[in-house]
Amino acid sequence: MKIIALNEGTFAVDKKKNFKLIDSEDSIAGTLKMATCPFLIILENDMILLDAGSGFETDGIPNITALIRKNGIEPEQITKVLLSHLHKDHCDGLGHFKEGRFIQNFEKATIYIQEKELAYGLSQTENPSFNQDVLTEISALPNIHWMRDDKGFITENIKFELTGGHSPFHQAFWVIVENETAFYGADNLPQKSYLRFHIAYKTDDDGKKAMELRQSWEKTAKEEHWTVLFYHDLKNNAITF
């Protein structure tokens, strides 16, 4: 198993969920500073993308595809895209609009989305965490695998569980190869610092549940020596316990 952090950079995020790319040393009053970092996991017969990034572009090129190519891989080689939830900073990198048309960034991949998460996202028309234009487009893509179970295995190497917490239908993923486990708790465990402070965050749909999940995952991660992936951490993209 090879894990590649696709760090898109540091963002200042305001209360209206507007993301502004900034220098890592800068800060803007009234905003929260965070990174966004999808992960590419390379297995013998799979190239797995964990979440798709924020959808930002540079000179008309999606940042997520540029980062993948920077690592010597073409987006067409990605076989699976696993989405933890559908907040715009996690799913907008699935595609981009050109002359009013939505163009997929990973049209060769199977995209795994929790069906209940999409229904919830489409109902949140006043919630700035969701990009309704993107959700509408991805709901009609032909290469979506709609996930309907609460837990199980996508393949013998990929385990998933619908956890709730940060969002009502949030999912976590485990990629397991022999005795090696990469764990992705997404926004239930977005930064290493969340393990130091046992806090139920009001920004989560169910902060108490997210806190309890983190505590449980940390215990097992230490016992089984997981590599834990942090999507929003400014310094630590991954840590092996």
CATH number of the CATH domain containing 184: 3.60.15.10
How many domains would you assign to the chain? 1
pLDDT given at position 26: 80
Query: Whose CA is closest to 234, among 1, 61, 8?
Result: 8
Query: Whose CA is closest to 194, among 214, 219, 209?
Result: 214
Q: pLDDT tens track of the chain, all 241 residues?
A: 999 999 999 999 998 999 988 887 888 888 999 999 999 999 999 999 999 999 999 988 999 999 999 999 999 999 999 999 999 999 999 999 998 899 999 999 999 999 999 999 999 999 999 999 999 999 999 999 999 999 999 999 999 999 999 999 999 999 999 999 999 999 999 999 999 988 999 889 999 999 999 999 999 999 999 999 999 999 999 999 9
Residues 211-222 as b/e (b if ≥16 CB within 10 A, e otherwise) read bebbeebbeebe
pLDDT given at position 139: 95
| CA–CA dist 67, 73 (Å, integer) | 9
Domain span at 147: 2-240
pLDDT given at position 178: 93
Residue 98: in which H helix or E strand, if any? strand 95-98
DSSP 3-state of 105: coil
pLDDT given at position 172: 98
pLDDT given at position 27: 82
pLDDT given at position 30: 86
Give residue for tokens 């010597």.
72
